[in-house]
Amino acid sequence: MQSNAALEYDYSVAKLFTYTTILFGFLGMLIGTLIAAQLAFPDLNYLLGEYGTFSRLRPLHTNIVIFGFTLSGVFATFYYSAQRVLKVSMAESKFIMFIGKLHFWLYFVGALIGVITLLLGYTQAKEYAQFEWPVDIAIVIVWVLWGVAMFALIGIRREKALYISMWYYIACFLGVAMLYLFNNMSVPTYFTSGGVGSIMHSVSMYSGTNDALVQWWYGHNAVAFGFTVPIVAMIYYFLPKESGQAVYSYKLSLLSFWGLMFVYLWAGSHHLLWSTVPDWMQTMGSVFSIVLILPSWGSAINMLLTMKGEWNQLTENPLIKFMVLASTFYMLSTLEGPIQAIKSVNAIAHFTDWIPGHVHDGVLGWVVFMIMAALFHMAPRMFKREIYSKKLLEAQFWLQTTAVVLYFTSMWIAGITQGMMWRAVDEYGNLMYSFIDTVTVLHPYYAIRALSGVMYLTGFLMFAYNMIKTMSSSRELTEEPQFRSPMA
Protein backbone atom coordinates (compact mmCIF):
# COMPACT_ATOMS: atom_id res chain seq x y z
CA MET A 1 0.00 0.00 0.00
CA GLN A 2 1.24 3.46 -0.81
CA SER A 3 2.11 5.46 2.23
CA ASN A 4 0.07 8.47 1.17
CA ALA A 5 -3.06 6.48 0.40
CA ALA A 6 -5.85 6.98 2.89
CA LEU A 7 -5.90 4.30 5.55
CA GLU A 8 -8.61 1.70 4.99
CA TYR A 9 -9.75 -1.44 6.67
CA ASP A 10 -8.25 -4.49 5.02
CA TYR A 11 -10.76 -7.22 4.32
CA SER A 12 -8.61 -9.70 2.41
CA VAL A 13 -8.61 -12.33 5.17
CA ALA A 14 -12.29 -11.78 5.94
CA LYS A 15 -13.04 -12.37 2.24
CA LEU A 16 -11.10 -15.63 2.16
CA PHE A 17 -13.02 -16.96 5.15
CA THR A 18 -16.27 -15.79 3.56
CA TYR A 19 -15.57 -18.08 0.60
CA THR A 20 -14.95 -21.08 2.85
CA THR A 21 -18.08 -20.34 4.87
CA ILE A 22 -20.11 -20.67 1.68
CA LEU A 23 -18.21 -23.73 0.49
CA PHE A 24 -18.35 -25.69 3.74
CA GLY A 25 -21.90 -24.56 4.45
CA PHE A 26 -23.02 -26.06 1.17
CA LEU A 27 -21.05 -29.28 1.63
CA GLY A 28 -22.12 -29.77 5.26
CA MET A 29 -25.79 -29.19 4.57
CA LEU A 30 -25.72 -31.33 1.46
CA ILE A 31 -24.44 -34.21 3.55
CA GLY A 32 -26.96 -33.33 6.30
CA THR A 33 -29.76 -33.59 3.77
CA LEU A 34 -28.41 -36.86 2.45
CA ILE A 35 -28.20 -38.48 5.89
CA ALA A 36 -31.65 -37.19 6.75
CA ALA A 37 -32.91 -38.91 3.61
CA GLN A 38 -31.01 -42.07 4.52
CA LEU A 39 -32.84 -42.28 7.83
CA ALA A 40 -36.13 -42.15 5.95
CA PHE A 41 -35.07 -44.30 3.01
CA PRO A 42 -32.29 -46.69 4.09
CA ASP A 43 -31.51 -47.81 0.54
CA LEU A 44 -29.73 -44.51 0.08
CA ASN A 45 -26.95 -45.94 2.25
CA TYR A 46 -25.61 -47.94 -0.65
CA LEU A 47 -24.85 -45.25 -3.16
CA LEU A 48 -21.11 -44.93 -2.66
CA GLY A 49 -19.93 -48.13 -1.02
CA GLU A 50 -18.41 -47.63 2.42
CA TYR A 51 -18.03 -43.88 1.83
CA GLY A 52 -21.75 -43.32 1.53
CA THR A 53 -23.00 -45.03 4.66
CA PHE A 54 -24.76 -43.11 7.40
CA SER A 55 -22.09 -43.98 9.95
CA ARG A 56 -19.35 -42.56 7.73
CA LEU A 57 -21.30 -39.47 6.73
CA ARG A 58 -22.80 -38.39 10.04
CA PRO A 59 -19.49 -37.33 11.62
CA LEU A 60 -18.60 -35.73 8.32
CA HIS A 61 -21.79 -33.68 8.51
CA THR A 62 -21.23 -32.55 12.10
CA ASN A 63 -17.56 -31.76 11.65
CA ILE A 64 -18.00 -29.88 8.39
CA VAL A 65 -20.81 -27.73 9.71
CA ILE A 66 -19.02 -27.05 13.00
CA PHE A 67 -15.36 -26.77 12.08
CA GLY A 68 -15.86 -25.89 8.43
CA PHE A 69 -18.92 -23.70 8.14
CA THR A 70 -19.40 -22.19 11.60
CA LEU A 71 -15.73 -21.57 12.34
CA SER A 72 -15.18 -20.03 8.89
CA GLY A 73 -18.10 -17.73 9.62
CA VAL A 74 -16.63 -16.87 13.01
CA PHE A 75 -13.24 -16.08 11.50
CA ALA A 76 -14.73 -14.09 8.61
CA THR A 77 -16.83 -11.93 10.91
CA PHE A 78 -13.98 -11.59 13.36
CA TYR A 79 -11.49 -10.34 10.77
CA TYR A 80 -14.15 -7.94 9.54
CA SER A 81 -15.63 -6.56 12.76
CA ALA A 82 -12.61 -6.67 15.06
CA GLN A 83 -10.78 -4.14 12.90
CA ARG A 84 -13.81 -1.88 12.99
CA VAL A 85 -14.58 -1.95 16.69
CA LEU A 86 -10.88 -1.59 17.51
CA LYS A 87 -10.54 1.14 14.84
CA VAL A 88 -7.36 -0.29 13.48
CA SER A 89 -6.62 -1.76 10.05
CA MET A 90 -4.85 -5.04 9.47
CA ALA A 91 -2.93 -3.24 6.74
CA GLU A 92 -1.18 -1.24 9.42
CA SER A 93 0.86 -4.25 10.47
CA LYS A 94 2.64 -6.56 8.05
CA PHE A 95 2.93 -9.07 10.85
CA ILE A 96 -0.82 -9.25 11.46
CA MET A 97 -1.51 -9.51 7.73
CA PHE A 98 0.95 -12.38 7.48
CA ILE A 99 -0.48 -14.21 10.48
CA GLY A 100 -4.02 -13.69 9.18
CA LYS A 101 -3.21 -15.18 5.80
CA LEU A 102 -1.22 -18.03 7.30
CA HIS A 103 -4.16 -18.64 9.60
CA PHE A 104 -6.46 -18.98 6.62
CA TRP A 105 -4.28 -21.22 4.49
CA LEU A 106 -3.34 -23.59 7.29
CA TYR A 107 -6.98 -23.70 8.26
CA PHE A 108 -8.04 -24.54 4.74
CA VAL A 109 -5.46 -27.27 4.24
CA GLY A 110 -6.20 -28.65 7.72
CA ALA A 111 -9.92 -28.69 6.99
CA LEU A 112 -9.39 -30.58 3.74
CA ILE A 113 -7.20 -33.16 5.50
CA GLY A 114 -9.86 -33.42 8.21
CA VAL A 115 -12.57 -34.12 5.67
CA ILE A 116 -10.48 -36.71 3.86
CA THR A 117 -9.42 -38.58 6.99
CA LEU A 118 -13.01 -38.78 8.24
CA LEU A 119 -14.13 -40.00 4.85
CA LEU A 120 -11.47 -42.69 4.98
CA GLY A 121 -12.76 -43.74 8.36
CA TYR A 122 -10.02 -42.44 10.67
CA THR A 123 -11.81 -41.47 13.86
CA GLN A 124 -11.33 -41.18 17.60
CA ALA A 125 -15.00 -42.06 17.96
CA LYS A 126 -15.77 -39.18 20.32
CA GLU A 127 -18.59 -36.92 19.21
CA TYR A 128 -17.40 -33.61 17.69
CA ALA A 129 -13.87 -34.78 18.53
CA GLN A 130 -13.57 -37.45 15.86
CA PHE A 131 -10.45 -36.03 14.25
CA GLU A 132 -7.36 -38.14 14.80
CA TRP A 133 -4.32 -36.64 16.49
CA PRO A 134 -2.49 -35.28 13.39
CA VAL A 135 -5.56 -33.20 12.50
CA ASP A 136 -5.88 -32.19 16.15
CA ILE A 137 -2.35 -30.83 16.07
CA ALA A 138 -3.13 -28.86 12.91
CA ILE A 139 -6.24 -27.46 14.61
CA VAL A 140 -4.22 -26.38 17.62
CA ILE A 141 -1.74 -24.52 15.40
CA VAL A 142 -4.56 -22.82 13.50
CA TRP A 143 -6.17 -21.83 16.76
CA VAL A 144 -2.96 -20.38 18.16
CA LEU A 145 -2.54 -18.34 14.97
CA TRP A 146 -6.00 -16.93 15.41
CA GLY A 147 -5.11 -15.98 18.97
CA VAL A 148 -1.92 -14.28 17.82
CA ALA A 149 -3.81 -12.26 15.21
CA MET A 150 -6.51 -11.38 17.74
CA PHE A 151 -4.23 -10.18 20.49
CA ALA A 152 -1.86 -8.42 18.09
CA LEU A 153 -4.83 -6.49 16.72
CA ILE A 154 -5.97 -5.68 20.23
CA GLY A 155 -2.42 -4.62 21.03
CA ILE A 156 -2.34 -1.87 18.39
CA ARG A 157 -5.94 -0.70 18.77
CA ARG A 158 -7.01 2.94 18.81
CA GLU A 159 -10.30 2.32 20.57
CA LYS A 160 -9.17 1.62 24.10
CA ALA A 161 -12.44 0.16 25.39
CA LEU A 162 -13.08 -3.35 24.05
CA TYR A 163 -16.54 -3.53 22.55
CA ILE A 164 -18.72 -6.33 23.93
CA SER A 165 -18.33 -8.40 20.73
CA MET A 166 -14.60 -8.56 21.33
CA TRP A 167 -15.20 -10.02 24.79
CA TYR A 168 -17.23 -12.78 23.20
CA TYR A 169 -14.62 -13.50 20.52
CA ILE A 170 -11.93 -13.66 23.19
CA ALA A 171 -14.07 -16.04 25.23
CA CYS A 172 -14.57 -18.21 22.15
CA PHE A 173 -10.83 -18.34 21.63
CA LEU A 174 -9.95 -19.18 25.24
CA GLY A 175 -12.87 -21.52 25.83
CA VAL A 176 -12.35 -23.67 22.78
CA ALA A 177 -8.57 -23.78 23.37
CA MET A 178 -9.05 -25.21 26.85
CA LEU A 179 -11.83 -27.63 25.94
CA TYR A 180 -10.21 -28.94 22.80
CA LEU A 181 -6.86 -29.65 24.41
CA PHE A 182 -8.27 -31.52 27.38
CA ASN A 183 -10.78 -33.62 25.51
CA ASN A 184 -8.39 -34.66 22.77
CA MET A 185 -5.66 -36.06 24.99
CA SER A 186 -5.10 -39.43 23.39
CA VAL A 187 -2.46 -42.06 22.66
CA PRO A 188 -2.03 -43.93 19.38
CA THR A 189 -2.83 -47.60 19.96
CA TYR A 190 0.53 -48.48 18.41
CA PHE A 191 2.28 -47.28 21.57
CA THR A 192 -0.10 -48.91 24.02
CA SER A 193 -0.13 -52.35 22.44
CA GLY A 194 3.53 -53.08 21.96
CA GLY A 195 3.43 -52.33 18.26
CA VAL A 196 0.33 -54.25 17.27
CA GLY A 197 -1.95 -51.24 17.06
CA SER A 198 -1.92 -48.40 14.60
CA ILE A 199 -0.19 -45.01 14.55
CA MET A 200 -3.26 -43.46 13.00
CA HIS A 201 -5.73 -44.75 15.51
CA SER A 202 -5.65 -43.37 19.01
CA VAL A 203 -7.57 -43.92 22.22
CA SER A 204 -8.54 -41.41 24.87
CA MET A 205 -6.23 -40.97 27.87
CA TYR A 206 -9.29 -41.10 30.12
CA SER A 207 -11.40 -44.15 30.58
CA GLY A 208 -14.95 -45.12 31.44
CA THR A 209 -17.04 -42.61 33.34
CA ASN A 210 -14.23 -40.08 33.45
CA ASP A 211 -13.93 -40.19 29.70
CA ALA A 212 -17.66 -39.65 29.36
CA LEU A 213 -17.53 -36.70 31.72
CA VAL A 214 -14.64 -35.01 29.96
CA GLN A 215 -16.27 -35.75 26.61
CA TRP A 216 -19.53 -34.04 27.54
CA TRP A 217 -17.89 -31.24 29.39
CA TYR A 218 -16.27 -30.68 25.99
CA GLY A 219 -19.27 -31.56 23.85
CA HIS A 220 -21.66 -29.25 25.60
CA ASN A 221 -19.21 -26.42 25.76
CA ALA A 222 -18.37 -26.84 22.12
CA VAL A 223 -21.99 -25.74 21.71
CA ALA A 224 -21.36 -22.96 24.20
CA PHE A 225 -18.13 -21.58 22.81
CA GLY A 226 -18.63 -22.55 19.16
CA PHE A 227 -22.36 -22.08 18.54
CA THR A 228 -23.28 -19.50 21.14
CA VAL A 229 -20.49 -17.20 22.24
CA PRO A 230 -19.10 -16.17 18.82
CA ILE A 231 -22.61 -15.91 17.36
CA VAL A 232 -23.59 -13.60 20.20
CA ALA A 233 -20.44 -11.64 19.33
CA MET A 234 -21.80 -11.29 15.81
CA ILE A 235 -25.27 -10.17 16.75
CA TYR A 236 -23.91 -7.57 19.19
CA TYR A 237 -22.05 -5.96 16.34
CA PHE A 238 -24.14 -6.58 13.23
CA LEU A 239 -27.65 -5.90 14.54
CA PRO A 240 -26.80 -2.47 16.01
CA LYS A 241 -24.73 -1.58 12.95
CA GLU A 242 -27.33 -2.66 10.39
CA SER A 243 -30.20 -0.99 12.26
CA GLY A 244 -28.33 2.11 13.38
CA GLN A 245 -29.47 1.54 16.95
CA ALA A 246 -26.94 1.21 19.77
CA VAL A 247 -27.33 -1.89 21.91
CA TYR A 248 -30.28 -1.40 24.27
CA SER A 249 -28.35 -1.89 27.50
CA TYR A 250 -24.61 -2.17 27.51
CA LYS A 251 -24.61 -3.07 31.19
CA LEU A 252 -26.96 -5.96 30.54
CA SER A 253 -24.62 -7.18 27.84
CA LEU A 254 -21.71 -7.20 30.28
CA LEU A 255 -23.74 -8.95 32.91
CA SER A 256 -25.02 -11.59 30.50
CA PHE A 257 -21.48 -12.15 29.36
CA TRP A 258 -20.15 -12.96 32.80
CA GLY A 259 -23.29 -14.89 33.64
CA LEU A 260 -22.81 -17.05 30.58
CA MET A 261 -19.15 -17.61 31.40
CA PHE A 262 -19.95 -18.64 34.98
CA VAL A 263 -22.77 -20.96 34.21
CA TYR A 264 -22.10 -22.70 30.90
CA LEU A 265 -19.06 -24.69 31.96
CA TRP A 266 -21.00 -26.53 34.65
CA ALA A 267 -23.95 -27.67 32.59
CA GLY A 268 -22.26 -30.38 30.51
CA SER A 269 -23.23 -33.27 32.74
CA HIS A 270 -26.84 -32.89 31.59
CA HIS A 271 -25.73 -35.07 28.67
CA LEU A 272 -25.12 -37.89 31.15
CA LEU A 273 -28.30 -37.91 33.19
CA TRP A 274 -29.28 -41.37 34.47
CA SER A 275 -25.80 -42.66 33.63
CA THR A 276 -22.98 -43.80 35.92
CA VAL A 277 -21.62 -40.36 36.79
CA PRO A 278 -22.08 -39.29 40.45
CA ASP A 279 -25.61 -38.26 41.23
CA TRP A 280 -24.71 -34.82 42.59
CA MET A 281 -22.98 -34.06 39.33
CA GLN A 282 -26.07 -34.92 37.33
CA THR A 283 -28.15 -32.70 39.59
CA MET A 284 -25.60 -29.93 39.21
CA GLY A 285 -25.83 -30.26 35.43
CA SER A 286 -29.61 -29.96 35.59
CA VAL A 287 -29.59 -26.98 37.91
CA PHE A 288 -26.98 -25.06 35.96
CA SER A 289 -28.86 -25.77 32.75
CA ILE A 290 -31.96 -24.12 34.17
CA VAL A 291 -29.97 -21.14 35.41
CA LEU A 292 -28.50 -20.83 31.92
CA ILE A 293 -31.82 -19.45 30.70
CA LEU A 294 -31.05 -16.16 32.43
CA PRO A 295 -27.82 -15.08 30.72
CA SER A 296 -29.00 -16.51 27.38
CA TRP A 297 -32.24 -14.59 27.47
CA GLY A 298 -30.34 -11.59 28.80
CA SER A 299 -28.52 -11.32 25.48
CA ALA A 300 -31.49 -12.23 23.32
CA ILE A 301 -33.87 -9.76 24.99
CA ASN A 302 -31.21 -7.10 24.84
CA MET A 303 -31.11 -7.62 21.08
CA LEU A 304 -34.87 -7.48 20.68
CA LEU A 305 -35.02 -4.32 22.79
CA THR A 306 -32.33 -2.78 20.64
CA MET A 307 -35.02 -2.68 17.95
CA LYS A 308 -37.36 -0.75 20.25
CA GLY A 309 -39.16 1.99 18.34
CA GLU A 310 -37.62 0.73 15.11
CA TRP A 311 -39.75 -2.30 14.45
CA ASN A 312 -40.71 -0.92 11.04
CA GLN A 313 -37.22 -1.98 9.95
CA LEU A 314 -38.34 -5.56 10.41
CA THR A 315 -40.66 -5.26 7.44
CA GLU A 316 -38.38 -3.05 5.38
CA ASN A 317 -35.02 -4.70 5.76
CA PRO A 318 -34.68 -8.46 5.24
CA LEU A 319 -31.34 -8.53 7.08
CA ILE A 320 -33.03 -7.25 10.22
CA LYS A 321 -35.59 -10.00 9.70
CA PHE A 322 -32.85 -12.63 9.63
CA MET A 323 -31.24 -11.30 12.77
CA VAL A 324 -34.41 -10.84 14.76
CA LEU A 325 -35.53 -14.33 13.84
CA ALA A 326 -32.08 -15.61 14.82
CA SER A 327 -32.32 -14.14 18.30
CA THR A 328 -35.87 -15.48 18.62
CA PHE A 329 -34.65 -18.98 17.75
CA TYR A 330 -31.83 -18.48 20.22
CA MET A 331 -34.48 -17.87 22.87
CA LEU A 332 -36.44 -20.92 21.79
CA SER A 333 -33.52 -23.30 21.92
CA THR A 334 -32.12 -21.93 25.16
CA LEU A 335 -35.49 -22.58 26.74
CA GLU A 336 -35.87 -25.98 25.15
CA GLY A 337 -32.41 -27.16 26.25
CA PRO A 338 -32.99 -26.50 29.96
CA ILE A 339 -36.36 -28.25 29.73
CA GLN A 340 -34.64 -31.31 28.28
CA ALA A 341 -32.10 -31.13 31.11
CA ILE A 342 -34.76 -31.69 33.78
CA LYS A 343 -34.21 -35.26 34.87
CA SER A 344 -37.76 -36.48 34.40
CA VAL A 345 -38.05 -34.89 30.96
CA ASN A 346 -34.66 -36.23 30.02
CA ALA A 347 -35.80 -39.74 30.84
CA ILE A 348 -38.12 -39.45 27.85
CA ALA A 349 -36.04 -37.20 25.62
CA HIS A 350 -32.61 -38.83 25.84
CA PHE A 351 -31.57 -40.92 22.81
CA THR A 352 -34.65 -39.79 20.89
CA ASP A 353 -35.06 -37.58 17.82
CA TRP A 354 -36.08 -34.72 20.03
CA ILE A 355 -32.34 -34.12 20.62
CA PRO A 356 -31.40 -33.54 16.96
CA GLY A 357 -34.63 -31.53 16.78
CA HIS A 358 -33.33 -29.27 19.54
CA VAL A 359 -29.87 -29.08 17.98
CA HIS A 360 -31.26 -27.95 14.66
CA ASP A 361 -33.69 -25.30 15.83
CA GLY A 362 -30.58 -23.82 17.42
CA VAL A 363 -28.16 -24.22 14.54
CA LEU A 364 -30.50 -23.68 11.58
CA GLY A 365 -32.55 -20.91 13.17
CA TRP A 366 -29.84 -19.16 15.14
CA VAL A 367 -26.31 -20.01 13.98
CA VAL A 368 -26.80 -20.22 10.22
CA PHE A 369 -29.27 -17.32 10.09
CA MET A 370 -26.94 -15.07 12.01
CA ILE A 371 -23.87 -16.02 9.97
CA MET A 372 -25.69 -15.48 6.68
CA ALA A 373 -27.03 -12.10 7.81
CA ALA A 374 -23.55 -11.05 8.93
CA LEU A 375 -22.01 -12.02 5.60
CA PHE A 376 -24.76 -10.19 3.73
CA HIS A 377 -24.03 -7.11 5.81
CA MET A 378 -20.30 -7.41 5.15
CA ALA A 379 -20.57 -8.03 1.40
CA PRO A 380 -21.42 -4.47 0.25
CA ARG A 381 -18.61 -3.13 2.43
CA MET A 382 -16.02 -5.72 1.44
CA PHE A 383 -16.78 -5.86 -2.27
CA LYS A 384 -18.08 -2.30 -2.64
CA ARG A 385 -21.20 -3.49 -4.43
CA GLU A 386 -24.83 -3.55 -3.35
CA ILE A 387 -26.50 -6.84 -2.46
CA TYR A 388 -27.58 -8.46 -5.70
CA SER A 389 -31.24 -9.18 -5.01
CA LYS A 390 -33.64 -8.26 -2.23
CA LYS A 391 -36.38 -10.45 -3.69
CA LEU A 392 -34.15 -13.49 -3.55
CA LEU A 393 -33.27 -12.61 0.04
CA GLU A 394 -36.94 -12.44 1.01
CA ALA A 395 -37.74 -15.70 -0.73
CA GLN A 396 -34.79 -17.37 0.95
CA PHE A 397 -35.93 -16.12 4.33
CA TRP A 398 -39.39 -17.63 4.05
CA LEU A 399 -38.20 -20.87 2.51
CA GLN A 400 -35.64 -21.46 5.22
CA THR A 401 -37.89 -20.38 8.06
CA THR A 402 -40.49 -22.88 6.89
CA ALA A 403 -37.76 -25.51 6.65
CA VAL A 404 -36.61 -24.95 10.23
CA VAL A 405 -40.14 -25.18 11.52
CA LEU A 406 -40.71 -28.43 9.61
CA TYR A 407 -37.44 -29.82 10.94
CA PHE A 408 -38.03 -29.22 14.61
CA THR A 409 -41.75 -29.90 14.73
CA SER A 410 -41.32 -33.26 12.98
CA MET A 411 -38.51 -34.17 15.36
CA TRP A 412 -40.49 -33.08 18.41
CA ILE A 413 -43.30 -35.38 17.45
CA ALA A 414 -40.95 -38.17 16.43
CA GLY A 415 -38.88 -37.84 19.60
CA ILE A 416 -41.71 -37.82 22.06
CA THR A 417 -43.49 -40.66 20.26
CA GLN A 418 -40.29 -42.66 20.34
CA GLY A 419 -39.64 -41.92 24.02
CA MET A 420 -43.17 -42.89 25.02
CA MET A 421 -43.14 -46.09 22.95
CA TRP A 422 -39.82 -47.26 24.39
CA ARG A 423 -41.08 -47.04 27.92
CA ALA A 424 -44.66 -48.26 27.37
CA VAL A 425 -45.44 -51.47 29.28
CA ASP A 426 -48.52 -53.63 29.33
CA GLU A 427 -50.43 -54.66 32.42
CA TYR A 428 -47.87 -57.38 33.19
CA GLY A 429 -44.91 -55.04 32.94
CA ASN A 430 -43.72 -56.32 29.56
CA LEU A 431 -42.51 -53.81 26.98
CA MET A 432 -45.29 -53.18 24.50
CA TYR A 433 -43.20 -52.32 21.46
CA SER A 434 -40.06 -53.59 19.85
CA PHE A 435 -37.59 -51.19 18.28
CA ILE A 436 -38.81 -51.77 14.73
CA ASP A 437 -42.33 -50.75 15.75
CA THR A 438 -41.04 -47.28 16.53
CA VAL A 439 -39.15 -47.11 13.23
CA THR A 440 -42.33 -47.83 11.29
CA VAL A 441 -44.27 -45.17 13.15
CA LEU A 442 -41.50 -42.59 12.70
CA HIS A 443 -41.06 -42.98 8.97
CA PRO A 444 -43.32 -40.08 7.93
CA TYR A 445 -41.53 -37.69 10.30
CA TYR A 446 -38.15 -38.71 8.94
CA ALA A 447 -39.48 -38.04 5.45
CA ILE A 448 -40.65 -34.58 6.55
CA ARG A 449 -37.22 -33.86 7.97
CA ALA A 450 -35.56 -34.92 4.72
CA LEU A 451 -37.90 -32.57 2.86
CA SER A 452 -37.03 -29.75 5.25
CA GLY A 453 -33.38 -30.49 4.52
CA VAL A 454 -33.94 -30.09 0.80
CA MET A 455 -35.74 -26.80 1.42
CA TYR A 456 -33.08 -25.46 3.76
CA LEU A 457 -30.31 -26.49 1.38
CA THR A 458 -32.11 -24.77 -1.50
CA GLY A 459 -32.28 -21.64 0.66
CA PHE A 460 -28.58 -21.89 1.32
CA LEU A 461 -27.91 -22.14 -2.41
CA MET A 462 -29.98 -18.98 -2.90
CA PHE A 463 -27.76 -17.33 -0.31
CA ALA A 464 -24.62 -18.55 -2.08
CA TYR A 465 -25.89 -17.37 -5.48
CA ASN A 466 -26.85 -13.98 -4.07
CA MET A 467 -23.43 -13.62 -2.47
CA ILE A 468 -21.52 -14.65 -5.58
CA LYS A 469 -23.55 -12.28 -7.72
CA THR A 470 -22.96 -9.52 -5.16
CA MET A 471 -19.22 -10.12 -5.36
CA SER A 472 -19.05 -10.24 -9.12
CA SER A 473 -21.73 -8.34 -10.97
CA SER A 474 -23.91 -6.23 -8.72
CA ARG A 475 -24.08 -2.45 -9.04
CA GLU A 476 -20.95 -0.76 -7.71
CA LEU A 477 -21.16 1.56 -4.73
CA THR A 478 -19.33 4.83 -4.64
CA GLU A 479 -19.22 5.13 -0.89
CA GLU A 480 -19.57 2.80 2.05
CA PRO A 481 -23.09 2.58 3.47
CA GLN A 482 -23.23 3.68 7.07
CA PHE A 483 -25.98 1.50 8.48
CA ARG A 484 -28.55 -0.20 6.31
CA SER A 485 -27.06 -2.42 3.61
CA PRO A 486 -28.10 -1.36 0.13
CA MET A 487 -29.76 -4.01 -2.03
CA ALA A 488 -31.31 -4.14 -5.45
255 near other proteins, judged by CB under 8 A = yes
- Span of 35-43, 147-155, 463-471, 477-485 interacting with ligand HEM by CB under 6 A: 35-43
Among 60, 368, 373, 379, binds ligand HEM (CB under 6 A): 368
Print the binding letters for residues 286-305 with ligand HEM: x by CB under 6 A, - otherwise: --------------------
Number of residues that bind other proteins (CB under 8 A): 35
Among 16, 60, 65, 150, binds ligand HEM (CB under 6 A): 65
What span, in angstroms and rounded, lies between the C-alpha atoms of 302 and 323? Answer: 13
Beta bridge partners of 204: 186
Interaction with other proteins in 275-304: which residues (CB under 8 A)? 278, 280, 284
7 near other proteins, judged by CB under 8 A = yes
Closest CA to 31 of 61, 51, 69, 68: 61
Q: 260 is in the binding site of which of ligand HEM, other proteins, none (Cβ under 5 to 8 A by kind)?
A: none
Among 15, 58, 241, 270, binds ligand HEM (CB under 6 A): 58
Closer CB to other proteins, 29 or 232, in the complex = 232
Q: CB 162 → other proteins: shortest distance, Å?
A: 9
Q: 164 is in the binding site of which of ligand HEM, other proteins, none (Cβ under 5 to 8 A by kind)?
A: other proteins
Closer CB to other proteins, 9 or 104, in the complex = 9
Q: CB 360 → ligand HEM: shortest distance, Å?
A: 6
Interaction with other proteins in 132-191: which residues (CB under 8 A)? 158-161, 163-165
Q: 368 is in the binding site of which of other proteins, ligand HEM, none (Cβ under 5 to 8 A by kind)?
A: ligand HEM
Q: 444 is in the binding site of which of other proteins, ligand HEM, none (Cβ under 5 to 8 A by kind)?
A: none
**Binding footprint of other proteins on the chain (CB under 8 A):** 7-9, 83-85, 87-89, 158-161, 163-165, 236-237, 240-241, 244, 246-247, 249-251, 254-255, 258-259, 262, 278, 280, 284, 483
